Each structure stands twice: as structure tokens, then as C-alpha cells.
Amino acid sequence: MEKSSEVELVGFGYVYGAPTPFLASSFFCRDGALLWADILVGYAFFEMQNYLTDVWKLDLTHAAGILNVWTGLSMVLPAFFLFLVDERLGNFTMLVISSIAYTVGIAFVTMSTPPVLANRTGTCKQYEPECIGHTQKVLFYIGMASVAVGIAGNLISVHPFREEQDDKSNSNPTIDFLKLPAFTLVVLTPVIGAIALPYIKPWSLRFGIPAIYPNHFPLNSRDLYRKDDESFSRTRFLRCLERAAIILPGEDQKKNRWRLCLVSEVEEAKIAVRMIPMWLTFIICGIVSSVANTYFVEQANNMNRKVGKWKVPLQVLLLLNKWAKVWFGVTANRTLKKYKQYASPIGIAMAMVFSVLCCITAAKVETRRLNVIGRHGLLDKPDDPIPMTIFWLLFQFILQGGLEAYLEKGVAAFYKDQAPDSMETYIEHFTNAVSGLGFMCSVLSVYVVGKISERGGKPNWFQPTLNRSRLDRYYWVLAALSSANLLVFILVASMYRYKNREAGDEYAVDTGVAAALSGINENDD
């Protein structure tokens, strides 16, 4: 027997034969590292809004605009990268590129903080706007763009790579045993990140710690391309597109892929066009989600964060938001499977209801915060602490988690109803891209609402400081838009036909902790 036939690349090295301690430990390192580095980056970047307003001294809307464009970019790019992966690069190359971009991006953001390059650039080392020169700004923007590329590349290629490796190691009992520590690592990392990172005062260290562990480089270039073994049923919708699959006499169409398409490709194009009305309703959801990592965080920055003698870190709000998302995801599975045929429209409608409730709650809480500011004379003291507990914001963070959870479950069910399995990945990333456009559109919505609010000589709702702004009114506008969006969605959803599914079907979307949990239970089914 040739030894080379037994070689299998798993984790961080070559392993010969059946279960070995090295293979098991490699699995543990790989499965845990695939998630915890991303989690740390998320927690470090959660305070980016405060960094831009406190250190760079940017206006409230300017800082929020930078973050929302960056978040939207990281959600839009996967739709383009997926095409490159399938047509040109492959998952291995994309993972290499994204891992390098991710690590370099975090390093550049770290280097953009004042103390790191102060001696070389001739600037001061204090965390003040005058200490941030042109070099630091260039590094910051390049770093943020690189991190967005890394996030997008990992999003489309990490999961297929993990699936292939899991398929090859599912029969190993030692690896099954070590999935529990891997899951424990993923669960503990958010807790440790939420508690430990805020006590690291220098911003250079807060951004630099996630860069200590270089992102997950793939180790082999196995093909991970989807197989087109699925038949399509012909549809009568947009029959004009079928001309692209007709061979015309006298024309050498076969040499030009842009002139002649397969019937399956035409049907895929029809399905994508039919998705457009539904996709457009997700933009408002993206706008609502965009306020969580920007304006919500800015509100929490100067509120009372003490519980006894312990000062609650801001990252605890993100931790509770993610836990709420996981809990609502489990609840959504139990709820949606009862409705079988109409699981997808009900799930998406529930997400939009959460969107309305989140905006109403945020408006009420902000009104209360402004009243407290007025009573204590803090209107022109944006850096002074506000005697109002941070836990008033907890409800809107939880509702925002419910919005994301029900939207993911509802959209997953919608894919199963309206698209073949071969298109599911493409439609999923296009849907995320539309939500990303919502994040970018939030910049436009703030600008438009601000311009309308100052008509008649009235002050703009968005002032340089949070205490002078009227975010409560903006939240009411978002609540009205979300309500109108829900009505539009009901009209759009009635245009589609939905399949009658079994009661036991679940529409699970593996994200974060849920992904690790599903990995533990895969072999028990």
C-alpha cells in the first residue's frame, strides 16, 4: 500500500492514517481559531464610533457615516467575490487573499493610532486630533478597507473549507470529543473580550490584540466548486430572456459566452429578477441595523455604567445583543416550523415588526436621556457623565438582535421556497449585499432627514454633539419608515408562491456561537 494514499491535510499539518493526537489537536485549533479571531475583531471595532468622536473629534454623523459605509462595504463585497471564486480564483486563493488583507488591515488600523508612528511622523503621542497626521489618516482608511476585504473573503470561503474538512474528519471519535473544548473557546471568547478589552486603555493595544493571531490561512487547494446536477423547471415569467438560449443560424455564438447561455442559466436569471422586489424591502432593515453600532454606542458612552463598584464595559451590550440573536434564532425555528408553507413571509414580517419596536423603544429611551440631560444642565457638556443607567439601552439592543435573527431565518426559508439549492449561496450573498446597501443608505437618510428638519429656520436634528442632537425624532422617522416597509412587504410577499413543507423543517443559519454548536451536534443526528 502506498503511503501517499493515506495522507490527509487537516488542521495545521499532514497526518498519516487514522486518528492521531496531532490530527485531533489540529482540529481543535482550526475549529476554534476560525471563529475566535473574528469575534475579537468585532469587539475591538465595536468602540470605533467612540474612537472617532473622542480621539479624532469627528461630528456624530461623520463618524457614523464612516462606520456605516465600512460595514455596508463588507456586506456588499461578498457578492462580487463569490463570482471571482467560482469563475477565477477558487476558495483557496480567496482565503489567502482575505487572510492577508484581514491581518494587514488590523495592523494598519493599529499603526494609525497616535503613539505608534509618532517618532517617525513628527506628531505627538497623545490621543488628540492634533496628534493625528496625514499618514495616520491614510493608514486608517486603507486599514479599514483591507479589513472589509478580509471579512468579505472569509464570509464566502471559510464555511466551504470547514465543511470539507469536517466531512473528512467526522468519523474520528477523538475529534468529536475535542469539539466541546472548541465550542467552549468560542463561547468564552466573547465573554472575555467583553470584559477584558475595555480595561486596556491604549487604543493601539485594543486594535492590536486581534492582530496577534494571524487570520486563518487555508492549507490546501482542494476544489470546492458547486456541481450543477440540478434540473430546473421552466417558468413563464420573463420569457423574453429565453432568447439568450436560442442558437441562431449563421452566428458563431458558441465561442461567445455573452451571446449564448444555457437554459439553466436563463432560469437562474429569471429567479434573480423575481427576487428584486423582495430584496428592496430589506434596505430599511439595513438602515435600522446600522444605528446599533453607531448611535446606540454613542448614547451608551457617557451613561452611568456602574453596577456597585464595577463599571460595565460597553462590549457587554454587544455580547447581550449576540446572545439575544442566538436565543431569538432558536425561538424562530420553533415558531416558523409550525406554519410550514408560510414560514418565510411570517419570519421576515416578524423581523420587520422587531424593526418597528426597536425604533420606538430607542426613541422613547433617547427622549428620556435628553430630559435627564436638560434637568442636570448637561446640554453643552458632552463629555460629562449622565446620571442615567446604561441598562435603559438594553431593550433596543435585544430587539435589534431579534430583527437580525428573524430576518436570517425568514430569508433562509425564502431561499428554500423560491430558489434551487444551486443558487442558494448566490442569493444569500446578494441579500446580504442589499442589507449592506441599507447601511450605506443610512448616510443618505441622515442627510435627507437633517435637511428636511432645518426647514423654516429650525435647528438641524443632527448636531456636532450627541446632547445637542435630536436622535429621538430620527428614531421616530425610522419607526414610520419601518411600518410602511412592513406594509410594502406584505404586498410584495403576496406575489410569491410558497411550498408546503414538513412540520419538522428548520431554517437554521450558522452564525457565531450557533455555528459552533451545530458542529458539536452534527454527528449525533
477-488 b/e (C-beta count within 10 Å ≥ 16 → b): bbbebbbebbee
pLDDT higher than threshold 70 for residue 14: no
Q: What is the pTM of this model?
A: 0.72
Higher pLDDT, 400 or 305: 400
193-205 b/e (C-beta count within 10 Å ≥ 16 → b): bbbebbeeeebbe
Q: What is the mean pLDDT of residues 251-259?
A: 49
pLDDT, residue 142, reads: 92
pLDDT higher than threshold 70 for residue 268: no
DSSP state of 172: -
433-454 b/e (C-beta count within 10 Å ≥ 16 → b): bbbbbbbbbbbebbeebbeebe
Higher pLDDT, 276 or 220: 276
Contact 458, 450 (CB under 8 A): no
Tens digits of per-residue pLDDT, 375-428?
A: 988 888 888 889 999 889 999 999 999 998 888 888 877 777 766 666 666 767
pLDDT higher than threshold 90 for residue 171: no
pLDDT higher than threshold 50 for residue 91: yes
Range from 90-94, 274-278, 291-295 that averages highest in pLDDT: 291-295
> Quick one: cell of 128?
488628540
Strand-pairing partners, residue 37, are none
Higher pLDDT, 172 or 16: 172
Higher pLDDT, 64 or 249: 64
pLDDT, residue 480, reads: 95
153 band by pLDDT with thresholds 50, 70 and 90: confident
Q: Is 49 helix (H, G, I), strand (E, B) or coil?
A: helix
Contact 406, 347 (CB under 8 A): yes
Among the ranges given (81-85, 89-93, 321-325, 517-521), the one the predictor scored with the smallest mean pLDDT: 517-521
Q: Which domains does the chain have, with CATH numbers?
A: 1-219 (1.20.1250.20), 274-525 (1.20.1250.20)
- Distance CA(11)–CA(126), nearest Å, equals 42
Q: What is the mean pLDDT of residues 275-303?
A: 86
Q: What is the mean pLDDT of residues 274-295?
A: 85
40 band by pLDDT with thresholds 50, 70 and 90: low
Task: Give percent of the chain with pLDDT exceeding 70.
Answer: 62
- Distance CA(72)–CA(145), nearest Å, equals 11
pLDDT, residue 522, reads: 40
Task: Give percent of the chain with pLDDT exceeding 90.
Answer: 14
Q: Is 306 helix (H, G, I), strand (E, B) or coil?
A: strand
pLDDT, residue 262, reads: 52
> Quick one: cell of 439?
447601511
The set of residues, in sequence order, having a beta carbon less than 8 Å from that of 493 and lying 6+ positions away, is: 278, 345, 348, 349
In residues, how long is the chain? Answer: 525
pLDDT higher than threshold 80 for residue 234: no
Q: Across the chain, what does the average pLDDT equal?
A: 72
Tens digits of per-residue pLDDT, 45-56?
A: 777 877 888 888
DSSP state of 389: E
Handedness of CA 317, 144, 384, 309 (dihedral sign): positive
Of 270, 272, 506, the closest CA to residue 408 belongs to 506
pLDDT higher than threshold 60 for residue 190: no
pLDDT, residue 135, reads: 87
Higher pLDDT, 164 or 405: 405
Higher pLDDT, 305 or 4: 305
Q: What is the mean pLDDT of residues 151-166?
A: 71
CA distances from 92 to 26, 103, 219, 262, 363 (A): 18, 17, 8, 28, 46
The set of residues, in sequence order, having a beta carbon less than 8 Å from that of 83 and lying 6+ positions away, is: none
Q: Is 411 helix (H, G, I), strand (E, B) or coil?
A: helix
484 band by pLDDT with thresholds 50, 70 and 90: very high
Higher pLDDT, 368 or 128: 368
pLDDT higher than threshold 50 for residue 460: yes
488 band by pLDDT with thresholds 50, 70 and 90: very high
- Distance CA(396)–CA(258), nearest Å, equals 48
Q: What is the mean pLDDT of residues 34-60?
A: 73
CA distances from 373 to 246, 325, 397, 479, 491 (A): 69, 31, 22, 24, 43
Regarding beta strands 7-10 and 13-16, do their DSSP bridges make them parallel or antiparallel, or are they unpaired?
antiparallel
